[in-house]
Amino acid sequence: MDRTAGRPGTRRTRLRTAVAVCAVALGTLTTLGTPANAAPSAAPSAAPSASSDRAARADTPWKLRTPLSETASREFWDVAATGAKDAWSVGRTTDGADGPAPLIRHWNGSVWADVPAASTDGKPAQLEKVAAAAPDDAWAAGSLADNTSAPIVLQHWDGEKWTKVGHAAPAEGSLSFVGDLAAFGPKSAWLTSFDWDPNGGAQVSRLERWTGSGWEKVSLPAAPDGGEVQPWDITGTGPDDVWVTANAMTGEVSVPLLYHWNGSGWTVREVPAPGEHPTGWVANHAVATGRDSVYVVGKTNDPQSPTATMAARWTGGRWQSLPALPVGEVNAAGADGAGRLWIAGWAPGNPHSVLARWTGTRWATEELPADVTEHSEMSTVLGVAGVPGTKGVLAAGTAGCASDPVQCGVLVSRDLR
């Protein structure tokens, strides 16, 4: 876990989540108290009785898709689907003595089954993001886990097998990390990543686009009020409707931005924050639910723990602010097949992730199934994805199972058969 825990203090949700996942694997739950990203000012709620807690969890509409395995350490970091008979989840397995190995699972409408990843030349690696545009067009991205100045891991699915795709290596002494990944067709995939120098602390952020034959760097327009633009999350409805969140950094102060690509040019808007903060705000997640509907979720730009969260929706003509989030920080966000926004994170005092849906007027929070919460000490949802052609949604993550240090991969669904 050295590489994951040693990432730079970039105020990114995924980085702090990775540290929390490591804590589960190391068996430190009892020393954590509350999850690392729980709002420090929130007082824990009164604990319900065991019987009422079990009843509430038993009634959750979320269902575990694959049993938790306590004999093999597996982690799922992301999930994607193109339909009811085609879904992917990626992550890593750490069973062997040689370090982590990429883990890829596929849903064919009947079962989840492991699919071999492309070779990483014998080097330990993990896959952190997956995106799919069609049953024969999917991408997975991750990183090597040996703390070397090496390219990020990129793989492509052509309907038959996963193939390694080359990527430029970072400068000597720097480490490469994946930000986000999105796919909209054979000639339209998008990737954010960054290189970090652990010695000097310098960070170089990138946005790239797949053209059908190679990855090319994309330059975003300058921030409206200046600052270094750092692209992060990607969403959209097609090749001519791509949204990218970014943070404009001036020293330690961050301004959240939302960029839009219409197929020929960019526009940029500042995301409204709910208030002033000494170090500003960051936009961690974006979810498009239509061509003129995109949600942005973020938090204060605090390297240790957020003091507040934010959520807003761009309607095509104006910004609409959403009420306070029901979690201390959002670890994953996505839309279900019906176009409803979902977020996942930890609520204060709860060691398990909760999932919350935006109804249009309020946040409706739901628990993970008892198959997860009653058989693990802690859980984290790291990916949420809708299933096109249905009303359903998938969520992927990891749980700290009782037979420490085994990590149990979590795949759950809602409104799917």
Q: What's the helix, strand, coil split of the chain in %, to 5? A: 10, 50, 45
Residue 404: its pLDDT value, please? 59
Instruction: Return the structure tokens found at 211.
Output: 């053209």
pTM: 0.88
d(CA 239, CA 256): 23
Q: Is 208 left (phi over 0), alpha (psi -120 to 50) or beta?
A: beta
Number of other CB atoms surrounding residue 8 within 10 Å: 18
> CB of 158 within 8 A of CB of 142?
no
Q: Which residues of the chain have pLDDT under 70?
A: 1-58, 96, 403-405
Residue 20: its pLDDT value, please? 36
Residue 405: its pLDDT value, please? 63
d(CA 67, CA 61): 17
Describe the strand order of the beta sheet including 112-114 as a list of residue ranges.
74-83, 86-93, 101-107, 112-114
Chain centroid to Cα 333, Å, comes to 7
Residue 95: its pLDDT value, please? 73
Q: Which residue has the tokens 């000597």?
A: 172
Amino acid making up residue 297: V
Task: Classify 128 as helix, strand or coil.
Answer: strand
Instruction: Return the structure tokens found at 306.
Output: 């957020």
Residue 69: its pLDDT value, please? 76
